Structure 1
Amino acid sequence: MGQGHGRNGLNKKEVIVLEKIQRFGGAMFTPVSLFAFAGIMVALTIIMQNPLIVGGLATEGTTWYSVWNVLEGGAWTIFNQMELLFVIGLPIGLAKKANARAAMEALVVYLTFNYFVSNILQYFGSTFGVDFAAEVGGDSGLKMIAGIKTLDTSILGAIVVASIVVWLHNKYFDTKLPDWLGIFQGSAYVVIIGYFVMIPVALLTAWLWPMVQTGISSLQDFMATSGTFGVWLYIFLERLLIPTGLHHFVYVPFNFGPAIVEGGLQKYWMENIVQFGQSTESLKTLFPEGGFALHGNSKVFAAPGIALAFYFTAKKENRKKVLALILPVTLTAVVAGITEPLEFTFLFLAPVLFVIHALLAATMSATMYAFGVVGDFGGGLLSMASKNWIPLFSNHWGTYVTQIVIGLSFTVIYFLVFRFLIQKFNLKTPGREEANEEAKLFTKKDYKAKKAAEKGEALATANGGNQYTEQAGLFLEALGGSDNIETISNCATRLRVSVKDINLVQPDEAFRAGGAHGVVRNGKALQVIVGLSVPQVREQFELLAHQGN
């Protein structure tokens, strides 16, 4: 009883744990955001070297082939150095101070960890059941990371080490040492502590990770043969957990880690796309694991159905305004695969629709998988075309026709289901507000919001006219000011903030005045839905918050 419960029925400890998990999930987006462009470029360069598409130009030894092969080598950078990206990226999102220094510390400590593991296995590999003389890759469990032959702990090892370093950084970076040891303060002190911490961590890794690799191998076999239900459950959770930020923990191990295939689904698909394209066997036979990369279909096919339902259930006099609202976010979802602006629109106004969306998205992907559709369908229309339809159409056109027919069928299903529920339960989706809702008297809160905007404009001018400063200033004011801010982070579209006193936070209208799509509130942890400009807004938000302190 003494702990108290928040609005979602969670006690204070649970809220704190959830807040930390959400912050961690948001930090994961820092490196993950780089994969979309890299994937498209890998796909494009492979297409340009595929003789089925460009003919004799793709013959090895031609200038055409050589140029595109060079470009392909650069495009693989992100995938080949995933561990380093996560080691550097997580501290940027998680460190409470001096983020750039934390990233450097994490990189040094991670390399130290891998040198320890490498030397331990060189002398004691047989003790841990590891053949260190084996070639890297395959079933050896070994990998070259930054030129170091070590255990392939993939991004999980990078995440663990980076998390340890962030904790050390937050705790010891500001430690004052005696003057005669002053040279070892700051980053040097963190790295020194990290050096000694990594010794037992490396020993534990050398002992435990080979057993984990055996377990992962078993998991891969299980998931690959789990059938349609496994795909349905995966897609359902990936969609349903978006509001909590926990969806990162569902898709990251599959897309970028070892949960289903070595190196993750995206990398494996790109590495074998030419072989898949030249084969006449069904894609489901060639790559059954590809059912776990179908979640992008809900971005391409669901979004238009949802948008149409919003439009046709809106009051006739409001339909032009609704069209202006939903058209850009729908196009963004379909073309680029960024769905959060659209999904959060109805998540705030009618949460039940979000659950229905997750159920329908899972059912659509599972239906496609049952009819043989697999591939790398995690993004929008551009990604689908470049990674699947164009390079593989000649031998697998039937699969893609099936995908499109099922997808368009679900566009209609989405429209009918959403329209029925909106009308049946009179859900207040865009355009269904009361006629006089916009005409209202202004309150003290409205006045404060206006003053916050004016303050943001002044700050923007002082900072050289940065267009994001005004928005950040308004959000800061709506969150209770600089003194009320505890922690700051962000994910793809949300500014994540923990506050000291939730009572100082203004209603959602104050945030919408700054262009936010809405606010997710969970105790003292808040998520301001900013949109794709959230990295720039966060940067200005932190600057203003520090100036205020």
Structure 2
Amino acid sequence: MMQKIQRFGGAMFTPVLLFAFAGITIGIGTLFTTEAIMGGLASPDGLWYQCWNVILQGGWTVFNQLPLLFVVGLPIGLAKKQQARCCMEALVLYLTFQYFLNTILAQWGGNFGVDFAAEVGGVSGLTMIASIKTLDMGMIGALMISGIVIFLHNRYFDTELPEWLGTFSGSSFVVIVGFFALIPVAFLSAWLWPMVQSGMRAFQGFISNAGAMGVWIFIFMERILIPFGLHHLLYFPFFYDSAVINGGVYSAWANALPQLAASSESLKTMAPYAWPTLTGLSKVFGCPGIALAFYFTAKDSKKKEIAGLLIPITLTAIVCGITEPIEFTFLFIAPVLFVVHAVLAATLATVAYLCGVVGVLSGGLIEMSALNYIPLMASHWPTYLTLLAVGLIFTGIYFVVFRFLILKFDFKTPGREDDEEEITFHTKADFKEKQAAATSAGSLAEKILEALGGKDNIVDVTNCATRLRVNVKDETLVKSDAYFKSIGTHGIKATKTNIQVIVGLKVPSVREDFEALL
């Protein structure tokens, strides 16, 4: 069950890879169309505004169509065969489901406690999806229907029909089965989801009033679940669904940018909902403190090599918000340090929140700049100056705490290995040389497959942003972490038969090669 949950969480991450560009486009577009910043140049009647508004509205595509995006994105990670066809099936059946709901509520909405004549949005519980007025089930509805379709696809896609019914085989057969399967699902949704919406509104009220303690618990859990691959499941309802605000923090914040930019009132007062995305503060301010602690506790003879490792992976965390390389470096060696990291990350976010800092701050500097600093610096520079001060203080705290614990308990962090042990990290030049050697001897995917025990040992494969997630039949056939590093990866995270090979941002192409070998 844990493996299935991990695969589900990794598959959900696929569409999120599109958010960075969308966020940058919205941030820059908002900057250039805000009169409070650009003055008369950004007048709605001017050509400047109108041209940038075209770009801005195009940038909204991803956030305005999140349910559709995840409906077609989930099969990429979870369909066992013919992922492209499964994406099409999921889209068709998701729209079919919305038409079922539309008709059911139009005819019998009163029986389900739904006023279907109400305007969409607000507290009506209704929304528009692909021009279909329907119940607002958000991300949960999208993932539920997509999950059902994936199950049907994996089970029925290869069903052999009589030759005279051949036109109904493959995707057609999956859609036919799904069509009838989703009728009772639509009735159940019309009955149950209004009650869920009432419960969600109650939960929103509770979590919104939890204050600083709620912030601390949320950030701590988000960090501590990373090794298990379950953190996506925790933050998704807050970031992209309606756990704390309708449409999710990302969408609400992006929509509010013009109003936030036009006012100097406290961001915390204007957007009190934007605290869950403080998860990124530890990426920008915590990771440098960790890296410094690793460097200053390393043996003098190994500091040069360790710097070659730490500089790129720390910049990746700060700029891009991708922390797996540095976090998994010490997670393997000293898990207790990861718990300390989660505690410090939660405390950093809570202190920043108490100082009035909120916003879309879950990614690295690129995302933070696009959705915060660039459009809002002119009006809210005191808040960001406060954030910088708090963040730098916590960089120091991270350094002191990690340095103390490493020396106190003699954790074998990078650069502190015994003299007879070979350092498993290399400079960028060494890595490129190793990759070139790997290319001449065979692809990285081939070497990973061999290291996992061959294709007969593979159950299934998917990926998240940086990791190839593989379930194997026999974990004893899997090579060591050191071996995986020697063939050009960043190592592995193994939990019994669930193996996560840390590849980096090129993992989608590696997975494609890997599946071709299977």
Report the Cα offset of residue 397 of structure 1: 2.0
Paired AA for residue 312 in structure 1:
F
Please give the secondary structure, in 2, of the residue aligned with 1:520: strand
**Larger displacement relative to structure 2 (358-367 or 275-284):** 275-284
Report the Cα offset of residue 139 of structure 1: 1.3
Is the aligned partner of 1:529 residue 2:502? yes
Residues 259-281 of structure 1: CA distance to partner in whole angstroms, max 9, x if unpaired? 11111101100101111222232
Within 5 A, what are the aligned runs for 1:182-221? 182-221=166-205
Q: Equivalents in 2 of 1:278, 1:344: separation in Å?
A: 42
- Asked whether the 8 Å contact 2:267–2:356 carries over to 1, the reply is yes
Residues 292-345 of structure 1: CA distance to partner in whole angstroms, max 9, x if unpaired? 111111111011111111111111111111111010111111111111111111
Within 5 A, what are the aligned runs for 1:123-202? 123-202=107-186
Q: Equivalents in 1 of 2:40, 2:140: separation in Å?
A: 42
Unaligned runs of 5+ in 1: 1-16, 441-451, 460-469
Aligned to 2:447: 474
Residues 199-255 of structure 1: CA distance to partner in whole angstroms, max 9, x if unpaired? 000001111111111111111111111100000010001111111110001111111
- Asked whether the 8 Å contact 2:438–2:487 carries over to 1, the reply is no
- Asked whether the 8 Å contact 2:438–2:488 carries over to 1, the reply is no
Report the Cα offset of residue 439 of structure 1: 9.6
* Corresponding residue to 1:435 among 419, 426, 432: 419
Aligned to 1:246: 230
Please give the secondary structure, in 1, of the residue aligned with 2:275: helix
Is the aligned partner of 1:343 residue 2:327? yes
Q: Equivalents in 2 of 1:146, 1:298: separation in Å?
A: 38
Q: Equivalents in 1 of 2:230, 2:191: separation in Å?
A: 30
Please give the secondary structure, in 2, of the residue aligned with 1:526: strand
In the superposition, relative to structure 1, how do residues 319 and 251 fare at CA in structure 2: closer, same or farther (>3 Å)? Answer: same
**Larger displacement relative to structure 2 (171-180 or 224-233):** 171-180
- Asked whether the 8 Å contact 1:453–1:473 carries over to 2, the reply is no
Please give the secondary structure, in 2, of the residue aligned with 1:487: strand
The RMSD of aligned alpha carbons is 1.6
Residues 459-508 of structure 1: CA distance to partner in whole angstroms, max 9, x if unpaired? 5xxxxxxxxxx111111000011111110001111111111122211112
Q: Equivalents in 1 of 2:306, 2:438: separation in Å?
A: 31
* Corresponding residue to 1:416 among 365, 384, 400: 400
Is the aligned partner of 1:509 residue 2:479? no
Paired AA for residue 516 in structure 1:
T
Q: Equivalents in 1 of 2:342, 2:440: separation in Å?
A: 40
Paired AA for residue 485 in structure 2:
R
Aligned to 1:391: 375
Q: Equivalents in 1 of 2:380, 2:34: separation in Å?
A: 15
Q: Equivalents in 2 of 1:395, 1:167: separation in Å?
A: 50
Is the aligned partner of 1:361 residue 2:356? no
Unaligned runs of 5+ in 2: 425-434
Is the aligned partner of 1:64 residue 2:48? yes
Report the Cα offset of residue 393 of structure 1: 2.5
Residues 402-426 of structure 1: CA distance to partner in whole angstroms, max 9, x if unpaired? 1111110000000000111111111
Within 5 A, what are the aligned runs for 1:216-235? 216-235=200-219
- Asked whether the 8 Å contact 2:28–2:374 carries over to 1, the reply is no
Residues 355-400 of structure 1: CA distance to partner in whole angstroms, max 9, x if unpaired? 1100000000011111111111111112222211232223322211
Q: Equivalents in 2 of 1:385, 1:408: separation in Å?
A: 17
* Corresponding residue to 2:258 among 271, 274, 294: 274
Report the Cα offset of residue 51 of structure 1: 1.6
Paired AA for residue 230 in structure 2:
L
Aligned to 1:466: none
Q: Equivalents in 2 of 1:209, 1:68: separation in Å?
A: 39
Is the aligned partner of 1:317 residue 2:297? no
Residues 83-127 of structure 1: CA distance to partner in whole angstroms, max 9, x if unpaired? 111110101100111111111111111111000000111111111
Please give the secondary structure, in 1, of the residue aligned with 2:279: coil
Report the Cα offset of residue 538 of structure 1: 0.7
Report the Cα offset of residue 37 of structure 1: 1.5
Is the aligned partner of 1:544 residue 2:510? no
Q: Equivalents in 2 of 1:137, 1:308: separation in Å?
A: 48
Q: Equivalents in 2 of 1:146, 1:37: separation in Å?
A: 23
- Asked whether the 8 Å contact 1:29–1:492 carries over to 2, the reply is yes
Q: Equivalents in 2 of 1:398, 1:423: separation in Å?
A: 38
Q: Equivalents in 1 of 2:108, 2:409: separation in Å?
A: 66
Aligned to 1:444: none
Please give the secondary structure, in 2, of the residue aligned with 1:434: coil
Q: Equivalents in 2 of 1:255, 1:112: separation in Å?
A: 27
Q: Equivalents in 2 of 1:325, 1:523: separation in Å?
A: 28
Is the aligned partner of 1:490 residue 2:463? yes
In the superposition, relative to structure 1, how do residues 439 and 59 fare at CA in structure 2: closer, same or farther (>3 Å)? Answer: closer
In the superposition, relative to structure 1, how do residues 386 and 453 fare at CA in structure 2: closer, same or farther (>3 Å)? Answer: closer
Paired AA for residue 156 in structure 2:
Y
Q: Equivalents in 2 of 1:198, 1:425: separation in Å?
A: 57
TM-score, scaled to structure 1 = 0.90
Q: Equivalents in 2 of 1:355, 1:430: separation in Å?
A: 18
Q: Equivalents in 2 of 1:387, 1:508: separation in Å?
A: 38
- Asked whether the 8 Å contact 2:492–2:499 carries over to 1, the reply is yes
* Corresponding residue to 2:473 among 491, 500, 504: 500
Q: Equivalents in 1 of 2:438, 2:342: separation in Å?
A: 41
Paired AA for residue 519 in structure 1:
I
- Asked whether the 8 Å contact 1:456–1:474 carries over to 2, the reply is no
Q: Percent identity?
A: 57
- Asked whether the 8 Å contact 1:43–1:386 carries over to 2, the reply is yes
Q: Equivalents in 1 of 2:157, 2:436: separation in Å?
A: 36
Aligned to 2:3: 19
